[in-house]
Amino acid sequence: MKVRVMLVREGRKRLQVEVSSPQIAYLFLKPKAHRLDREHFWRIDLDARHHIISYEVVSIGTLTASLVHPREVFTGALLNKAAGIIVAHNHPTGETEPSREDRETTRRLVQAGELLGVPVLDHLVLGNGKYFSFKEGGLL
């Protein structure tokens, strides 16, 4: 038996959103994170000019955690030929202070991005009307 797998990608228009700051990424994700009762982990794919190519919910977790692995994060980014990515997740509690797990996940994703040539440009933690940027916070 012979099995053949093909990837077919339909032409998509790039979103006309240029992510020139963490605040713009936050404003893009804010409506998607509104009133979520569990952690969601997003990846935003960017082209070389930092325009959004696409975005994806990579993982949906529990009230206090979301399982994230570099394999799942970078699969879509590679297929979309992203020049860089921004990752983000919400804290349903509303607090934006990154946890120890958030810091470790970010470290692993940054390492994977360096190996794959798709840098992680920022990691945002979304809360109630506010956000924490790893880049602005000096953690990236």
What's the confidence (pLDDT) of residue 14? Answer: 54
What's the confidence (pLDDT) of residue 13? Answer: 52
What's the confidence (pLDDT) of residue 35? Answer: 87
Mark residue 81 as left, alpha or beta (left: phi above 0; alpha: psi -120 to 50; beta: remaining).
left
Percent of the chain with pLDDT over 90: 79
Task: Specify the residue for token string 């099995």.
Answer: 3
Checking if the pLDDT of 108 tops 70, the result is: yes
The pLDDT confidence band at residue 6, using thresholds 50, 70 and 90, is very low
Task: Specify the residue for token string 């202070």.
Answer: 97
What tens digit of pLDDT does each residue of 12-68 get? 555 678 999 999 999 999 999 988 999 999 999 999 999 999 999 999 987 777 789
Q: What is the largest CA-CA distance in the chain?
A: 55
CATH of domain 22-133: 3.40.140.10
- Please check whether residue 91 is in contact with residue 69, taking contact to mean a CB–CB distance below 8 angstroms: no
What is the rounded average pLDDT of the residues 94-121?
96
